[in-house]
Amino acid sequence: MSRLVVISNRVSMPTQAGAATAGGLSMALAAALREYKGVWFGWSGRTTPEFTGELSTEMTEGVTVATVDLEEQDIQEYYNGFANETLWPLFHYRIDLSAFERAYGQGYERVNTRFAETARPLIDDEDLVWVHDYHLIPMGRELRRMGVANPIGFFLHIPWPSHQLFTALPRHRQLVESMFQYDLVGFQTEDYLEAFLEYVRKEADGEVLEDGRVRAFGRTIHAQAFPIGIDADAFKQIADSMTAAQSWDRMVASTYGRSVIVGVDRLDYAKGLEERLLAYEQFLTDNPERLGSVEYLQIAPPSRENVDAYQDIRARLDAHSGRINGAFSTINWAPIRYVIRSYGRDELAGVYRAARVGLVTPLRDGMNLVAKEYVAAQSPRDPGVLILSRFAGAAAQMTQALIVNPYSREDVSDAIRRALSMDLSERKRRWEILMEGVQRNDVAAWRDDFVAALRNTRVQTKAVA
């Protein structure tokens, strides 16, 4: 079998012992690498006074982990700048927050070149190369310039924006042209795939062939949707662990007699946290009989704290949560618990299981694995209800959730009321269908489908030759 070489912005190879605290994407890529053997390359997270390209390597559970340090200027222009102040807001439909600085684009190109130069010696002739996410869109082009003829795939974990929105990006055509150096380009949903194809047809005079391949810029590539999942069986085991049980006990004891609504999201404007707080306030206003009997727990670990937009959203959330608690609290009850810190997946599994409602309402999201983890953590005897934004990629698969418009306070408020009032038989019926989908469309299916499709491009290329 071919080795798999994974290239991503950051490397986070979890050990089996640390699986309970690792993130969903980290677990997904680790599973792929253990299955197919190979190398995981990316930024170490550390800075160096001058970029040298010196690799740091170690072997972890049969996988070679290789990292490189970046200069401070690289981090500011490539990571904080173009990746997170230009592409991230634009791809999440927040063009008002996008910063179109020429220096950011130059830093982005420079780091992609440096990554490619550093990773090139790690790639053997028979390897499959899998590049991940918006940080590294030009990576395939840079590897081709260095003579890499291997099958190279790219997977975008975040949404692909509409054709009209994407054209607001300076040099948008050059960025898409670089994607045609890949053999396979993957998206989370059919909607995001179609948005990409619309751009190719209208801006690049491209065409979609009958077999699904896409032709533009003098090249033909494969483009498909590959919805990512979780390791459902492993997460269910985590939910049954001692740590999860202790977390469940603490939740039940601290919220005795009250129904818990839980949200778990990285502190980000795309997650709809501000709109969610206002919708919950609407629920409290519209349902005064529920005061004192319900509690909303929002866990929001901070991220990208050097980016102004993230400082702004944190300040607004602090203000809203304080104002709502001040307006509705009594001496023995507060409607909101707002926690700005991280928890391990085993602790979160206990929190999910204790919550009657999982509130997952991003304004725009590539997939959202929290929705799937919430379902996987539930007790079959007494499952909770998932409320899910229609703008999360997961909504296309998880139709038995209560699907809402996250921009509408009334819509979310009504869904909360319905979820809290739902009888056991309906909760079980919905959960059983959701759980079957989470298990069927798991991370192994995502991994195997993508790698098989990438390997198939090699077979087709050889057949043509």
What residues are labeled active site?
157, 365
* CB-based contact 301:340 (threshold 8 Å): yes
Q: How far apart are CA 434 and CA 411, in angstroms?
A: 21
| Phi, psi values for residue 180, rounded to 5° | -85, 5
Tell how strand 4-10 and strand 128-132 pair up: parallel
Q: How far apart are CA 27 and CA 130, in angstroms?
A: 16
The string of DSSP codes covering 191-211 is: HHHHHHHHHHHHHS--EE-TT
Residue with tokens 């618990």: 337
Going by C-beta distance under 8 Å and a sequence separation of 6 or more, which residues neighbour residue 240?
none
DSSP 289: G
3-state helix, strand, coil in the chain (%, to 5): 50, 20, 30
What the block records as the tokens of 286 is 């519209």
The string of DSSP codes covering 22-39 is: S-HHHHHHHHHHHHH-EE
Tell how strand 385-389 and strand 357-360 pair up: parallel
Q: How far apart are CA 287 and CA 421, in angstroms?
A: 12
Q: Which residues pair with 40 in a beta bridge?
A: 6, 65
Q: How far apart are CA 30 and CA 11, in angstroms?
A: 10
Closest CA to 113 of 157, 76, 68: 68
In a 3-state reduction of DSSP, which class is residue 177? helix
The string of DSSP codes covering 363-405 is: SSBS--HHHHHHHHHS-TTS--EEEEETTBGGGGT-TTSEEE-
Q: How far apart are CA 246 and CA 269, in angstroms?
A: 32
Closest CA to 241 of 386, 352, 342, 358: 352
Residue with tokens 């043509």: 464
In a 3-state reduction of DSSP, which class is residue 280? helix
